[in-house]
Amino acid sequence: MIVDALVTFVCASARAVLGLLPTWTVPATPFATTSYSLGSMASMGNGYFPVAVLGVCIALVLALKVVLLGWRVVVFIYHQFWGSD
C-alpha cells in the first residue's frame, strides 16, 4: 500500500514535469520532397544500371551481417556459461 502510493507519486510527478514540455513533431513535407526527388533520380538511373537490384543486394548483405552478428553473440554467451574459449 505504501509502495503503491510512492510509485503513484513518482509517476504523477514525472507526468506533471513532462506535461510542461512543448509538443513537437518532425515536419513531413521536406522528407517527402527529398524522397520523391531521390526516387525520380533512381528511376532515371535504372536504365543504365539496375538500381532496384542493387538495393536488394545491399539489403541482403546487411541482413546477413545482422544474422552473423547475432550468431556471434549467441556463441559468446554460450562460452560464458561453460568457461571455454
pLDDT 10s digits, 24-35:
777 767 777 777
Q: Which three cell numbers stand for residue 41?
A: 533520380
pLDDT at 85 over 60: no
Q: Span 12-38, mean pLDDT?
A: 81
Q: Which three cell numbers stand for residue 38?
A: 531521390
Q: Span 4-31, mean pLDDT?
A: 85
| CA gap 11, 69 in Å, rounded | 38
pTM: 0.45
